[in-house]
Structure 1
Amino acid sequence: AESRFENIRRLRDSGINAPIMLLRSPPMARVEEVVCTVDISLQSELATIRELSRIAARMGRVHDIMLMIDLGDLREGIWPNDLIPTVEQILALKGVRIAGIGTNLGCFGAIMPTEENLGQLVAHAYKT
């Protein structure tokens, strides 16, 4: 797992063929690079997911995504109430596959992981 494109490029250029996860959502200008060099990425914006799908489908690929849900940290992710409609839209896309869901805690809003909020994440996983 890596958050910097330069490091991902170095890993690939040095012959590393292991799966690599991009730990952030890419800017639109780098979506094609993501499809070419990364196996899975964290995603929370439907527009970015649509673009990933478009480019991956054009290349004959399927890009795995980890759909991020905001459980109160306010750093990234879709709102829990938007989960099912968002998943339904993503499932209609040909070039991406939802590999799982995730959340970011203890970062921006200082919301620490607890049994309650991690339980919420698990409950959301069962909904999808």
Structure 2
Amino acid sequence: RAMGLGRPLLLLRIPMISELPWVLDVADCSLVSMAETVRAMERGCAAAGTTHEVIVMIDLGDLREGLWPDRTERVCEALRACPRVRCRG
């Protein structure tokens, strides 16, 4: 942003909770895999008067990154309850 790119920025990794203030300030979209992160993002967005887009990461069996498919509903419930955090995919 400081360089004047003027384009949306996507953080290409799942942030730690402690990084959320920075993430919400710098990135327009980030990856999430926990309902707790969605709720923390909602609180940060509410405090800043902004919104943030997320892409939900689901592990498809390679055990690398993302939530287990059986936990998807928890994240979806958090997203429904957090209007400032918008699911992009």
Q: TM-score, normalised by structure 1?
A: 0.64
SS of residue matched to 2:38: helix
- Number of the residue aligned with 1:125: none
In the alignment, structure 2 segments of 5+ residues that lack a partner are none
Q: CA RMSD in A?
A: 1.3
Please point out which of 8, 15, 19 is paired with 1:30.
19
Q: Identity rate of aligned residues, in percent?
A: 39
- Number of the residue aligned with 1:115: none
Q: Which has the higher contact order (CA 8 A, sep 6+)?
A: 2
Cα contact 1:53–1:95 (8 A) shared by 2: yes
Q: TM-score, normalised by structure 2?
A: 0.89
CA shift, 1:60, in A, is: 1.1
For residues 54 and 95 of structure 1, the distance between their equivalents in structure 2, rounded to whole angstroms, comes to 9
- Number of the residue aligned with 2:73: 84
Q: 1:67 to 1:37 in 2, by over 3 A?
A: same
The equivalences for 1:8-87 within 5 A come to 12-87=1-76
Give, as a single letter, the amino acid of the residue that structure 2 aligns with 1:60.
G
State how many pairs are aligned.
89
Q: Which runs of 4+ in 1 moved over 6 A?
A: none
In the alignment, structure 1 segments of 5+ residues that lack a partner are 1-11, 101-128
Q: Larger Cα Rg: Structure 1 or Structure 2? A: 1
